[in-house]
Amino acid sequence: MTTTTSDNQELVDFLKNVNLFADIPEDSLESLGSSLKTTEFPENETIMREGAPGVSMYILRTGMVEVRKKDPLTGIDFLVAQLGPGASVGELALLTGRPRSATVNTLEATSVFSLTRADFRTLLIQYPEISLGMSRVLAERIEQANKNVGVEYVSLSKNANLDPKIVGMVPLNILKQHRIVPLAMSGRSLTLAMVNPTSVVAFDDVRRYVKGFIIEPRVCTEEDFNRFMSMEYAKLMKLKPSDSKVLRTQPVKPLAKSRRRGGLETQSLEDLEAEILGGLEVTTDEDEDVKPSEMELQTLSGDAPVVRLANNILALAIQKGASDIHIEPQEHGVRLRLRVDGVLQVESTLSRKIMLPLASRFKILSRLDISERRLPQDGRISLKIDDRAIDVRVSTVPAKFGEKIVMRVLDKSTSLMPLERLIDHPGVSGRVHKMVREPYGIIYVTGPTGSGKTTTLYSCLSEINEPGRNISTAEDPVEYDLEGINQIQTHKDIGLDFARILRAFLRQDPDVILVGETRDPETAKTAVEAALTGHLVFTTLHTNDAPGAFTRLEEMGIEPFLTASSTLGVIAQRLARRICANCKDEAEPDPSMTGFFGCSEADLPRTYKGKGCSACAGTGYKGRVGIYELMVMNDELRRKVTSGAKTDEVRDCAIRNGMMPLQKYAEYLVREGHTTVEAVMAVVSISETPEEE
């Protein structure tokens, strides 16, 4: 058949561009191609898993894969690369016989040529040019790996010329306890082979013997360590045979004191800081007007302790459930703050000298230009921890004392609470439940930034997420992964805004649409049109209370009668700190609360508070609880809105029709013991009058 020839030519053209085969003469490629086996992988399939034995390698023919690598110190899974046709994966483990050093998942349906070790050997004999391509691929891979994780494998048997003076710097019992071997010293760093490089205690113990050195961890296998201890240590250290019984490696006891929590382990930031400062040779003081070259920045930020400090900051934030990480250079130090449950807390203040390497490290991780320090930049880091996908949005802004870095942590796998758990008040959650099952109309969720609007929207969506419904979302950024939903991220730089995505959705036969935010007339107008043409639309607005939504829409040019006929309801909300369940206790009656409850001192209800315990770091609060104000439209409210009534009138009418105002809902939460008057007052002003005149 004639098609065979053109297929073959296509294959030859493809193979020419495969890095591995680039040195093979074109006329040999056809026969090479015919000996390759093709395997198909569907989307979201794991082709190889980190730590598994490597028996084959793969060359991508079509499709796209992601390569992820775990930082053994913190357990964070970093996205190392995304690879497309022509790239090869798995050759390292195939050659060394060691476990896979990375996990490879398909991002779309992917077709690969797979080569077993035997296939690869045969090919290598037939086409020796492959070894040239191979060295190139490997060199690139090593460069990439060093850049991304900074912990390498090491073989003790290949380090035959170990120096007894260095090995002997740490006593035998410590070596055995932590399964470590000091390998080399250069300058101020000590290279340490470790079976478990995540052991924080090992670092601390080694530092008691080797002071002032930066510890550069390397990973060695357990067999390698045991073999070294039983066969070589005594010889190397010239021990007498009578000492031999101490050499038998004992089973390792679990660490008594471990900082491991939630799958993460962190080394103290101060320890890491001390390590970095001990090893810093390049002056990085901004005042001296030193401008380090890109190369110097690369080197500084690739230093193992800097890598670990950056990883530990991320791990710490995730462990504490922080939503934001602030790294702020100040006159005398670098302040690290984490936002937990809506409150910014100072975590640590580090030396100013750390700022430049640390900032560079975060910029490398988020693929930003490390030499640009005068302009704001935005990037992202994609992480995985125990199979949870975490997206970190990185933003840098030049400030007076250097670049300020703010990172927003988005745990996309956070499980969504069902509406009735999210909204504590059974009456209110019941009405929301009913409202989201309407066939068309708009539901607005309002409140200030950080008031949990997105969570409410997603809870609503998951309530109605069924295969029979086409649900599409436009978001900035995508904060949750919901199965079966088309989620689109806006891209301002290419003009892909909410309004444009919304118009595109309407051509895609949607049933339900979520628009992250309505902040411009065009989005507002398109959303109303969508609702009036039979779609259910969810979106957010920046207003303080539910009735205020109508004024805001009018300001955006929506006619009141269109608003009245398209709106199903408005949910206004706030988040207040929740009393820690672990140390919750009855509170003393407080006469100052009479204003809040609108009653006399004798009638004050019983309230609760957290005494403070280890679970809540002594604050008495853990997590947050939503305060809601639900306004469901009815005929009377529609007439009011159409007539152009003021916010106050709409509010009175809504209350007459059963709306429980924010303040009343807050009171309910306090009486039920979910939160305190103090926590509520921090987010809801009781004397709050509607903001519009």
- Residues contributing to the site for Zn ion (CB under 5 A): 580, 582-583, 610, 613, 615-616
> Considering the complex, what minimum distance in angstroms separates the CB of residue 676 from Zn ion?
13
Q: What is the DSSP string of 214-266?
A: EEEEEE--HHHHHHIIIIIHHHHHT--GGGGGGGSPPPPPPPSS---BTTB--
> Considering the complex, what minimum distance in angstroms separates the CB of residue 51 from Zn ion?
38
Residue 474: DSSP 8-state: E
CB of 410 or CB of 616, closer to Zn ion: 616
In 10 A of CB 97, how many CB atoms?
10
**Best CA proximity match to 312, nearest among 364, 376, 266:** 266
Task: For the chain, give the number of residues.
Answer: 693
CB of 264 or CB of 583, closer to Zn ion: 583
CB of 614 or CB of 687, closer to Zn ion: 614
CB of 32 or CB of 616, closer to Zn ion: 616
Residue 561 sits at φ, ψ, to 5 deg, of -70, -30
CB of 302 or CB of 612, closer to Zn ion: 612
399 in Cβ contact with 329 (< 8 Å): yes
> Considering the complex, what minimum distance in angstroms separates the CB of residue 616 from Zn ion?
3
Give helix then strand counts, H and E, for the chain: 26, 27
CB of 210 or CB of 613, closer to Zn ion: 613
Identity of the residue numbered 493: D
In 10 A of CB 489, how many CB atoms?
13
CB of 177 or CB of 582, closer to Zn ion: 582
Contacts of 66 (CB under 8 A, 6+ apart): 79, 81, 82, 83, 104, 105, 107
H helix or E strand, kind and range, residue 443: strand 441-446
Locate all alpha helices (DSSP H) within 72-161, ordered by sequence.
91-96, 117-126, 130-148
CB of 179 or CB of 624, closer to Zn ion: 624
> Considering the complex, what minimum distance in angstroms separates the CB of residue 588 from Zn ion?
18
The end-to-end CA distance of the chain, in Å, is 81
